[in-house]
Structures are given as structure tokens and as C-alpha cells.
């Protein structure tokens, strides 16, 4: 059965998504997710952790994301289904792996929208009417909580208008989100650029460890995340097999270029007095809104005004599209039998309404007195990269088991890029630090409890959609998760420090390679993979 443009464009039995998004809509969904609150904070946080060598951190992060995006581009063209990142491991490794990576996907998507709302409220504190929305530690006050809930409700309301309205709304916001950073780069670099800033206090004051830690914990990877939005919306694409790869790769190229240029411009524009006590002690008036504060400091008040406005528009656009993504991932999880069928029900606009309601509820929970934007970036980064790590594994298994299957985009040198991207994803997770990973471990256990319980219920009651766990083909997964945790606990990034720097990185790299080839060796056989794909294609075409 085909999953191309022959799919129906209207809902079938209230369980089918509408195929109404073109290439620009898909690309802008990804670009709109990449350029969010990350650009407002990332340059400042990165330079405080790595000094001017933060430029290297951004380049490494960009290469890592490009490698992962290349793998996703081939898979997205092969399988244009809603919530794709949550479903590839299900095809190739069966129920347990599919449930696990599905939970990783949903976890990161559900927490991004509330984080973007907090960023909006944080920058809005520049205006007197919004100063009472946040406490000194960045958590929300009662009035801030009410505003946050209203903003999340707006995201959900726009999504209920249908995917076509969403695509137009997001496209308009994305044009703005690209324009403002480019103007900022040009104006700041042209009028206030000091090349000596890159060397006056040392180019690499915190060594290699600072460069690597900045990738995960300062917001670099968080900022570059989002290319997968085109894949999550593949079930609503007009021409998915051609447009998905183009949208994924195009969005990464645009986002990476903008972020690297922003870091260079930010470092060059800083007054020498702001880092006189060292990069870790960077300080100037208005630094809580880094870019807008810097613009005011160097006499660009008009630019600062636009930046404060953009601090509302950019995060809002990202929060809007991640609200969409969350509901599509839960839609995909339900199709695979890991969540109640209620998540698949769509209203007359083809929108999975229950998934949107749940995304709203999760957002409200995230607004409770938890850590602020900066403190949650590492958590979301780790969950996101853990989600991305499933794609190289699925890619390797599909190249081995189904080498002749149609691939609208075939990745050159894929047998090298795929394991390399898995190693890099594992390193980024490790660099997030032990304090982040043990919390992520608790969240993973919660996911196993929730979805595992439902899978057990579906199996015990004889439901036709009950997933088969396929324990044998996922035998590597618990070893992988626990292994990363042990090295992190003993390593240099927030751990006990018993494993020396660079030795720990070598251990993680070798360990990841071992897991990669172990997973490929134990993946499902060709017939089983085809059966899993066929089952999903049947329901995606309106069946049950």
C-alpha cells in the first residue's frame, strides 16, 4: 500500500489526518521550531561556559545535528507518517524499543512549549506591567502562572483551527523570526564589532571540557533542535516523499548558519568592561535579556525594542508548533498500541483533539514552581537527543534487512554516517551531566510505567492492536540506558570524576559503537519489519 500523495485528504472515520502542507509549510515548521527562545539566550550562556571558543561549540553542535538530520531525511522520505520519530524504532526493533523511543519523543515535545512560554514571560519582564510575573529565581508568580496558562491555551486554540491555518500562522511568524536575527547580526557586526574580544582574555579559557559541556548545557543543541517537526507532520504533507528530506536538510542549514553568525556577532559586540573579570563573570545592565540588553548598552535602542518584541514572537512560534508535534506523537503512539485509542480521534478539521488537551495539561504542570528556562534546557536536550538516537539504529537495521526498499532520498556514505551520528548523539547525552541524566532516568521509568501498563492492559484484554514487545530485538536497550548512566555517574561531567577527561569520552564512544552494531545484529527480520510497516500503513490510510 502507498503512503504517497494518493492518501485521502479528508478524515476517514475520524482517525485520519489531512494532507494539506507543502514544502514551504514543512520547512517553516522546522525552521520555526529551530529559531525559538534558544537564539535569545544561547549566545550568552555558551560564551560564559566556553569563552570565545563557544563558536567551536556551535560548529560541533551543528555538525552533530546535520548528521542526525541526514539520517532522518532518508527515513522521513521512506515513511511519511505522523509522529515519525516515535515510530521508526517500532518498525525495526518491535514493541519495547518502539514504546521507549516513543516516550522519549513525547517527553521532549511536551516540555518545549511551556519552556517557550517561560522565555516569553522572562523577556517581557522588561516592561513594567510584566515585572511581577516571575520570582527572582525565574519561577512564576501567581499572576505569571495565569498568563502562562492563557498562552498555552492560545497555542491549543490555534491548533484546533486545523493544520492549514496552523501552517499559514507559523509561516508568517517564521518569516519574522528569521528576519530579526539576520538584522541583529548585520547591524551589530557593522556598528560594534571588536575582533580583539576573541583573544584578549584567551580564546579557550575553559579548555576542551568547556567547549563540550557548552554543547549540551548552555542551550546550543536545544537551540538547534526542531528539524524533526517536518517529520512529525509527514502524515499531513502533500508530497511527503520528496518534500520531507528537502524540508529537514533545508531547515538545518538555515538554522545552523544563523546561530553561528549570532555567536560571532555577540562576542564581537560586547564592551570590554563586561568581561573584564573573565568570561564566566560576564555582566552588563540588562543581561537577563542578553541580546536586547546588549543592544541598549551599545546605543541601539531601536533594535532593543524590536528584540523585546521578538522575544515574544519567536518563542510563541516555537511553542505553537511543538504543541502540534506533541499531539501528533501521541497520535502515533496510539497507532502503535502504546496509548489509548482516544489519542487517535480527530475532529472535523482533522485535528487529534485529545492529544492537544493532554499537551495543555502537561504545560500547566510544567508551570508549577519548577526550575526556570536555563535549568530545564539540559533535560530537554538529553530527552531530545535520546529520541534522535533511535533513527540511526532504525536506519542501520533497514539498510541491512530491506536494502531494496524504495528510498526517495538515499543518504551517501550512510553506513559511516549512521553509526557516527549515533556515537555523537550518545556523547551529547553524556555531556549533559549526571545531575540531568539521573532526573531523565526517573522520567524514563515513569514512561515505562504509564505506557507499559497500557500495553499490558491491551494484551490482557485481547485487543487487536496490542503491541508485541519483541524483547529479544531490544535486548541492547536497557544495557544502553544503564551504561550511559554509570559512565555519567563516574565521569567528569557532573559525576564523581573517577574516570579522567577524554578517557570517559573514549569509553562512551566505544560503548555506543558496540551498542549500535549489537542493535543491528538483533533487529527484527525483514518479514517482521515489513509486517510492522504494513500494519501502520493500513491504519494511516483510514483503517483500524
Q: What is the pLDDT of residues 438-456, one digit of tens each?
A: 988 988 999 899 888 888 8
Torsion of CA 169, 114, 355, 443, to 10 degrees: 150
**Spatial separation of the C-alpha atoms in residues 477 and 376, rounded to whole Å:** 25
- What total of structural domains would you count in the chain? 1
Domain assignment present for residue 164? The answer is: yes
pLDDT bucket at 11, cuts 50 / 70 / 90: very low
Domain assignment present for residue 544? The answer is: no
List, in order, residues 6 or more apart from 174 with CB less than 8 Å away: 28, 31, 32, 35, 317
pLDDT bucket at 396, cuts 50 / 70 / 90: very high
In 3D space, the residue among 176, 223, 451, 427 whose CA is nearest the CA of residue 330 turns out to be 451
Mean pLDDT of 99-114: 86
DSSP 280: G
Domain assignment present for residue 13? The answer is: no
Mean pLDDT of 264-285: 94
**More confident position, 544 or 341:** 341
**Spatial separation of the C-alpha atoms in residues 319 and 432, rounded to whole Å:** 23
In this prediction, residue 48 carries a pLDDT of: 95
Domain assignment present for residue 364? The answer is: yes
**pTM of the predicted structure, to 2 decimals:** 0.80
Residue 374 confidence (pLDDT) above 80? no
In 3D space, the residue among 19, 22, 24 whose CA is nearest the CA of residue 4 turns out to be 19
Residue 134 φ then ψ, to 5°: -130, 145
Residue 2 confidence (pLDDT) above 50? no
User: CB of 215 within 8 A of CB of 428?
Assistant: yes
Mean pLDDT of 406-433: 90
Residue 65 confidence (pLDDT) above 60? yes
List, in order, residues 6 or more apart from 256 with CB less than 8 Å away: 58, 62, 65, 66, 224
In this prediction, residue 488 carries a pLDDT of: 96
Q: What is the pLDDT of residues 137-151, one digit of tens each?
A: 777 888 989 999 999
Domain assignment present for residue 471? The answer is: yes
Q: What is the pLDDT of residues 196-233, one digit of tens each?
A: 999 999 999 999 999 999 998 888 988 888 787 777 66
Cell numbers found for residue 317: 512560534
* Least confident interval from 41-45, 94-98, 318-322, 413-417: 318-322
Length of the chain: 544
- 281: how many CB neighbours lie within 10 A of its CB? 10
User: CB of 320 within 8 A of CB of 155?
Assistant: yes
In this prediction, residue 228 carries a pLDDT of: 73
Q: What is the pLDDT of residues 279-297, one digit of tens each?
A: 999 999 888 789 999 999 9
pLDDT bucket at 261, cuts 50 / 70 / 90: very high
Domain assignment present for residue 374? The answer is: yes
Domain assignment present for residue 18? The answer is: no
In this prediction, residue 366 carries a pLDDT of: 79
- Mean pLDDT value across the chain: 84
Instruction: Tell me the residue range of the domain where 281 lies.
Output: 23-538
Domain assignment present for residue 495? The answer is: yes
Mean pLDDT of 155-180: 74
In CATH, what number is assigned to the domain containing residue 103? 1.20.1740.10
Amino acid at each position: 500500500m502507498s503512503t504517497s500523495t494518493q492518501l485521502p485528504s479528508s478524515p476517514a472515520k475520524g482517525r485520519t489526518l489531512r494532507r494539506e502542507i507543502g514544502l514551504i509549510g514543512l520547512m517553516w515548521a522546522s525552521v520555526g521550531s529551530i529559531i525559538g527562545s534558544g537564539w535569545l539566550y544561547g549566545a550568552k550562556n555558551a560564551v560564559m561556559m566556553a569563552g570565545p571558543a563557544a563558536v567551536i561549540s556551535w560548529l560541533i553542535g551543528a555538525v552533530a545535528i546535520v548528521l542526525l538530520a541526514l539520517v532522518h531525511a532518508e527515513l522521513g522520505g521512506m515513511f511519511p507518517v505522523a509522529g515519525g520519530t516515535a515510530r521508526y524504532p517500532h518498525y525495526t526493533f518491535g514493541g519495547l524499543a518502539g514504546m521507549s523511543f516513543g516516550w522519549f519523543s513525547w517527553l521532549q515535545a511536551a516540555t518545549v512549549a511551556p519552556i517557550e512560554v517561560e522565555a516569553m514571560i522572562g523577556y517581557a519582564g522588561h516592561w513594567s506591567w510584566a515585572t511581577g510575573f516571575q520570582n527572582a529565581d525565574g519561577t512564576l508568580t501567581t499572576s505569571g502562572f495565569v498568563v502562562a496558562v492563557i498562552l498555552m491555551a492560545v497555542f491549543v486554540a490555534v491548533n484546533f483551527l486545523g493544520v492549514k491555518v496552523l501552517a499559514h500562522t507559523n509561516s508568517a511568524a517564521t518569516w519574522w523570526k528569521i528576519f530579526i536575527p539576520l538584522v541583529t547580526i548585520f547591524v551589530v557586526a557593522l556598528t560594534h564589532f571588536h575582533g580583539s574580544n576573541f583573544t584578549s582574555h584567551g580564546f579557550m579559557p575553559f579548555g576542551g571540557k568547556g567547549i563540550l559541556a557548552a554543547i549540551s548545557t548552555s542551550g546550543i543543541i536545544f537551540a538547534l533542535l526542531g528539524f524533526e517537526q517536518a517529520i512529525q507532520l509527514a502524515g499531513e504533507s502533500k508530497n511527503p516523499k520528496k518534500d520531507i528530506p528537502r524540508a529537514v536538510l533545508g531547515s538545518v542549514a538555515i538554522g545552523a548558519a544563523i546561530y553561528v553568525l549570532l555567536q560571532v556577532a555577540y562576542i564581537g559586540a560586547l564592551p570590554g568592561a563586561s568581561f573584564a573579570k573573565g568570561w564566566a563573570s560576564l555582566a552588563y545592565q540588562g543581561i537577563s535579556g542578553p541580546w536586547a540588553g546588549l543592544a541598549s548598552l551599545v546605543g541601539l535602542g531601536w533594535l532593543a525594542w524590536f528584540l523585546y518584541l521578538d522575544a515574544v514572537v519567536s518563542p510563541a512560534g516555537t511553542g505553537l508548533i511543538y504543541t502540534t508535534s506533541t499531539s501528533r506523537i501521541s497520535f502515533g503512539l496510539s497507532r502503535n498500541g502504546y496509548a489509548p485509542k482516544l489519542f487517535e480521534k480527530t475532529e472535523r478539521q482533522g485535528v487529534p483533539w485529545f492529544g492537544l488537551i493532554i499537551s495543555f495539561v502537561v504545560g500547566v504542570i510544567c508551570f508549577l514552581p519548577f526550575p526556570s528556562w536555563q535549568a530545564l534546557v539540559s533535560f530537554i536536550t538529553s530527552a531530545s537527543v535520546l529520541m534522535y538516537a533511535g533513527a540511526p539504529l532504525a536506519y542501520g537495521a533497514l539498510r541491512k534487512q530491506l536494502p531494496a526498499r524504495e528510498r526517495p532520498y538515499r543518504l551517501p556514505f550512510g553506513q559511516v554516517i549512521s553509526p557516527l551520528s549515533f556515537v555523537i548523539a550518545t556523547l551529547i547525552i553524556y555531556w549533559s551531566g549526571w545531575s540531568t541524566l539521573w532526573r531523565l532516568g526517573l522520567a524514563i521509568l515513569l514512561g515505562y510505567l504509564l505506557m507499559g501498563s497500557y500495553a499490558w492492559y491491551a494484551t490482557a484484554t485481547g485487543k487487536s492492536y496490542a503491541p508485541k514487545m519483541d524483547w529479544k530485538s531490544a535486548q541492547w536497550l536497557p544495557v544502553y540506558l544503564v551504561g550511559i548512566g554509570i559512565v555519567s555517574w563516574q565521569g567528569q561531567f557532573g559525576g564523581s570524576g573517577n574516570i579522567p577527561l577524554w578517557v570517559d569520552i573514549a569509553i562512551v564512544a566505544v560503548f555506543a559503537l558496540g551498542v549500535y552494531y549489537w542493535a543491528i545484529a538483533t533487529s527484527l527480520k525483514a518479514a517482521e519489519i515489513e509486517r510492522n510497516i504494513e500494519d501502520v500503513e493500513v491504519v494511516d490510510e483510514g483503517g483500524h
